[in-house]
Chains A and B, each alone.
Chain A
Amino acid sequence: MIMPTLQMLVVTLIVVLSFAYASWALMPAAWRRRLAVRALGLPGLRRNMTLQRAARGANSCGCDGCDGVPAAASGSGQAQTIKIVRRAPP
């Protein structure tokens, strides 16, 4: 049986960690990247894979393949011309 005071301590720890994780995961990617780069400078955190991934700009939404770098801006509304090439006569 865990005593109520000890329960309160464990609960406080879980709530603080959960709040920190949720804030980390949901903050804008640019902030997360900046934070991760700073945190990687601290001793003991340099090899942390999560921070390394975040510093590279990976997304934290949990989807595979969502972590691409920004696409090149495409501002033209021009349609691409499709060239039809006639087959050479046999």
Chain B
Amino acid sequence: MNSQSATSLDAPGRALLRSVALVGNPNCGKTALFNLLTGARQKVANYAGVTVERKIGIARLPGGQSVSVIDLPGTYSLNPASADEAVTLEVIEGRRAGEDVPDLIIAVVDATNLRMNLRLVLELRRLGRPMLVALNMADSARQRGLVIDTQRLATELGCAVVETVGVKHDGHLALLAELARDVDRSVAAQEGESWHVEVPDAAALQHEVKRLLALAAPAAAKTARFHPRLDAWVMHPVWGLVILSVLLFVMFQAVFSWAQWPMDAIKAAMTWLGETVTTQMADGPLRSLLVDGAIAGAGSVLVFLPQILILFAFILVLEDTGYLPRAAFLLDTLMGKVGLSGRAFIPLLSSFACAVPAIMATRTISNWRDRLLTIMLAPLMTCSARLPVYALLIGAFVPDRAIGPFNLRGLTLFGLYAAGVLSACGVAWVVKRVWMKSSYQPLMLELPPYRRPSLRNLLLGLRDRAKIFLGRVGTIIFALTVVLWFLSSWPAPPEGAAGSAIQYSFAGQIGKLLEVLFAPIGFNWQISLALVPGLAAREVVVGALGTVYSLSGGEEAGADALAQVIAQQWSLATAYSLLAWFVFAPQCISTLAAVRRETNSWRYPALMTAYMFVLAYAAAFVTYRVTLWLGA
């Protein structure tokens, strides 16, 4: 990746094309085109506001030249209304520190929605910069019977117009060919011209769009983009909520029931690996490191890969179909009642994957107080790193029993996710009344048309998600379990010491110290110790428990054995208390760093840590005491 773009003259009055910027309305397929042009794997989804920061990649043209491609957040006009739209304007005006203005603008247009998209193209034309129009989703437009006269459109706009399909592997070839033709001529055209933006009158723009459509795509106004009958159900205030609840129920049921077979296979592989190393290797520290550290620790986290992939498969399909923004509209009234902006839905939804990109996604919220509140709430949504912890505890303590058509374990998981959402609503309600008072901001979000999910997108998304998870297991989780293994193995116990060796180790002593703080909520020293590396990455808690219990009792390695051990050694009250702790658990370090970066202050990450610690402790305390009182 190259963040620099420069124009170098190779002949008098002529310059080489070095950088191009993809500019367009939100959800017109800029990032899909960027991925095709550069081979990158940036996130794409069928709703507005996925890209909030500019991304740069290198595209190779047919002639062998390289061009730097800049993917920009979507914008409806050159009059920015939010932080992400401001990024786009900064880049195309050359106001971004350390970056030159792009040599060519590729105006990406959703060919199925010309009426809205051409307005931005006309604004961009006024910049007087070299420009090229990419009619994206050209295949969808053709399927709907929309005929676009590209030659006529090119003549009227005064620049080349090419058709592209961002979701097909060869959908960018026409664009590449046009870029190759533009390589030598583009910069000469911009000399002496102003880059200052004058936002024209909206009514005049719309009038001009109508004129263009009448000439180049007369059928555009008549082509239906939506399915009103389907939306009448999906966005119905009652049936819509029922459909949403059923979808979420099915998703959480699937996480448990569909993942069983692959999880069993990974567990068996881990057990076999542990046994093989134990039998094939001489007793010593390396064997202990491999069996008690790597296999019992990092290996026990690996087991949860199938569940994470199933959860993401559902999320990716829902994103691709265009359902998620409809769910945002559906929940807008509820979110408004607790004081949240409807725009907060998409960032909060992203939090189910990871709070870090979700915190960045709040840039689409223009009101600072609403944005700050969404940032503070994002970690309350259940990120995928908590899933292994939930799955381990549910697997160990919740019976595998059917309740009507549902499985009790799936229902418990659904309940934990719901607890995160409800607690976020509760916190928002309180905060809006005592601190960040602001008026309700109505939700204005462009509804995308329904699309059939792309199998290619789904598989690529799952591959990326698996790579991220395996990458974390192989790097930070492995490193932390090795460090914990070391702290749990040294120093050796004194002569004649009773009990397991780990109790005399550094880790054992740290655990005992922390136990004083956590005993009132039912946590033993092993749990207290495991919470510390869990601040780096949540999944490490599972690995840390695996290592600590493996060293404590010499049990079989692997997540299956860990589930059995904790089921025997912990009370039900302790397990429920730990689940309650994890609903509110103080955030991982990466999240706090992201909050610091986005708010330019240490005050907010400190506040977030404090309020989440208090909530987590209080919830775990109440859960523990109530469960004990009930006799569990």
Chain A residues within 8 Å of B, Cβ to Cβ? 1-4, 7-8, 10-11, 14-15, 17-19, 21-22, 25-26, 28-29, 56, 59-66, 68-80, 82-83, 85-88
* Cβ-neighbour of A77 out of B283, B369, B444, B472 (below 8 A): B369
Chain B residues near A75 (CB-CB < 8 A): 368
Q: Is the CB of B43 within 8 A of A65?
A: yes
Query: Which B residue sits closest to A84, measured CB to CB?
Result: B202
Q: Is the CB of A63 within 8 A of B371?
A: no
> Given A1-B281, A59-B593, A62-B475, are A7 and B444 neighbors across the interface (CB < 8 Å)?
no
Q: Is the CB of A18 within 8 A of B483?
A: yes
Q: Is the CB of A8 within 8 A of B598?
A: no
Q: How far is the CA of A84 from the CA of B41 in the complex (A)?
A: 37
Expressed in whole angstroms, the minimum distance between the Cβ of B445 and any Cβ of chain A is 13
Chain A residues near B3 (CB-CB < 8 A): 56
* Cβ-neighbour of A88 out of B207, B441, B589 (below 8 A): B207
> Given A56-B3, A79-B367, A79-B439, are A15 and B486 neighbors across the interface (CB < 8 Å)?
yes
Q: Is the CB of B590 within 8 A of A66?
A: yes
Chain B residues near A69 (CB-CB < 8 A): 53
* Cβ-neighbour of B42 out of A65, A66, A72, A83 (below 8 A): A65
Query: Which B residue sits closest to A15, measured CB to CB?
Result: B486
Asked if B479 is an interface residue, CB under 8 A from chain A, the answer is yes
Q: Is the CB of A66 within 8 A of B357?
A: yes
Asked if B94 is an interface residue, CB under 8 A from chain A, the answer is no
Q: Is the CB of B468 within 8 A of A22?
A: no
* Chain B contact residues: helix, strand, loop or mixed: helix
* Chain B window 160-204, contacts with chain A (Cβ cutoff 8 Å), 1 for yes, 0 for no: 000000000000000000000000000000000000000000110
Q: Is the CB of B83 within 8 A of A63?
A: no
Query: Which A residue sits closest to B42, measured CB to CB?
Result: A65
Q: Is the CB of B368 within 8 A of A74?
A: yes
> Given A11-B289, A70-B598, are A29 and B475 neighbors across the interface (CB < 8 Å)?
no
Q: How far is the CA of A84 from the CA of B476 in the complex (A)?
A: 51
Asked if B438 is an interface residue, CB under 8 A from chain A, the answer is yes
> Given A3-B282, A70-B597, are A21 and B289 neighbors across the interface (CB < 8 Å)?
no
* Cβ-neighbour of A4 out of B285, B597, B598 (below 8 A): B285
Q: Is the CB of B468 within 8 A of A28?
A: no
Q: Is the CB of B476 within 8 A of A72?
A: no
Chain B residues within 8 Å of A, Cβ to Cβ? 3, 41-43, 52-53, 81-83, 86, 202-203, 206-207, 281-287, 289, 354, 356-357, 360, 363, 366-369, 371, 438-439, 441, 444, 464, 468, 471-472, 475-476, 478-480, 482-483, 485-486, 536-537, 588-590, 593-594, 597-598, 600
Chain B residues near A77 (CB-CB < 8 A): 367-369, 438
Chain B residues near A61 (CB-CB < 8 A): 356, 537, 588-590, 593
Expressed in whole angstroms, the minimum distance between the Cβ of B88 and any Cβ of chain A is 13
Q: Is the CB of A80 within 8 A of B600?
A: no
Q: Is the CB of B43 within 8 A of A64?
A: yes
Q: How far is the CA of A23 from the CA of B289 in the complex (A)?
A: 20
Chain A residues near B483 (CB-CB < 8 A): 15, 18-19, 22
Residue from A21, A25, A68, A80 having most chain B Cβ neighbours under 10 A: A68
* Chain A contact residues: helix, strand, loop or mixed: loop
Supply 28 A–B pairs (Cβ within 8 Å), ascending by A.
Answer: A2-B281, A4-B282, A8-B285, A11-B289, A19-B483, A21-B475, A25-B479, A25-B536, A60-B476, A62-B476, A62-B537, A63-B356, A63-B590, A64-B43, A66-B590, A70-B598, A71-B360, A71-B597, A72-B86, A74-B368, A77-B369, A79-B366, A79-B441, A85-B203, A85-B206, A88-B203, A88-B206, A88-B207
Query: Which B residue sits closest to A66, measured CB to CB?
Result: B356
Chain A residues near B207 (CB-CB < 8 A): 88
Chain A residues near B589 (CB-CB < 8 A): 26, 61
Q: How far is the CA of A82 from the CA of B82 in the complex (A)?
A: 12
Query: Which A residue sits closest to B53, measured CB to CB?
Result: A68
Q: Is the CB of A18 within 8 A of B356?
A: no
Q: Is the CB of A65 within 8 A of B360?
A: yes
Q: How far is the CA of A60 from the CA of B590 in the complex (A)?
A: 8
Q: Is the CB of B471 within 8 A of A62?
A: yes
* Cβ-neighbour of B600 out of A22, A65, A73, A87 (below 8 A): A73
Chain B residues near A74 (CB-CB < 8 A): 83, 368, 371
Q: How far is the CA of A1 from the CA of B81 in the complex (A)?
A: 67
Q: Is the CB of A18 within 8 A of B597?
A: no
Q: Is the CB of A76 within 8 A of B368?
A: yes
Expressed in whole angstroms, the minimum distance between the Cβ of A31 and any Cβ of chain B is 12
Expressed in whole angstroms, the minimum distance between the Cβ of A81 and any Cβ of chain B is 9
* Cβ-neighbour of A8 out of B281, B284, B482 (below 8 A): B284
Chain A residues near B287 (CB-CB < 8 A): 7
Q: How far is the CA of A3 from the CA of B537 in the complex (A)?
A: 35
Q: Is the CB of A71 within 8 A of B363?
A: yes
Q: Is the CB of B593 within 8 A of A7?
A: no
Query: Which A residue sits closest to B287, measured CB to CB?
Result: A7
Q: How far is the CA of A60 from the CA of B556 in the complex (A)?
A: 33
Q: Is the CB of B367 within 8 A of A21?
A: no
Query: Which B residue sits closest to A28, measured CB to CB?
Result: B593
Residue from B367, B369, B476, B598 having most chain A Cβ neighbours under 10 A: B476
Q: How far is the CA of A70 from the CA of B600 in the complex (A)?
A: 8
Query: Which A residue sits closest to B82, measured CB to CB?
Result: A80
Chain A residues near B482 (CB-CB < 8 A): 14-15, 18-19
Q: Is the CB of A71 within 8 A of B598?
A: yes
Chain A residues near B356 (CB-CB < 8 A): 59, 61, 63, 66
Q: Is the CB of B284 within 8 A of A2?
A: yes
Residue from A1, A18, A70, A87 having most chain B Cβ neighbours under 10 A: A18
Q: How far is the CA of A73 from the CA of B479 in the complex (A)?
A: 35
* Cβ-neighbour of A62 out of B285, B371, B468 (below 8 A): B468
Expressed in whole angstroms, the minimum distance between the Cβ of A20 and any Cβ of chain B is 9
Q: Is the CB of A72 within 8 A of B83?
A: yes
Chain B residues near A8 (CB-CB < 8 A): 284-286
Query: Which A residue sits closest to B472, measured CB to CB?
Result: A62
Q: How far is the CA of A5 from the CA of B43 in the complex (A)?
A: 49
Chain A residues near B41 (CB-CB < 8 A): 64
Query: Which B residue sits closest to A58, measured CB to CB?
Result: B1
Q: How far is the CA of A72 from the CA of B513 in the complex (A)?
A: 42
Q: Is the CB of A80 within 8 A of B367?
A: yes
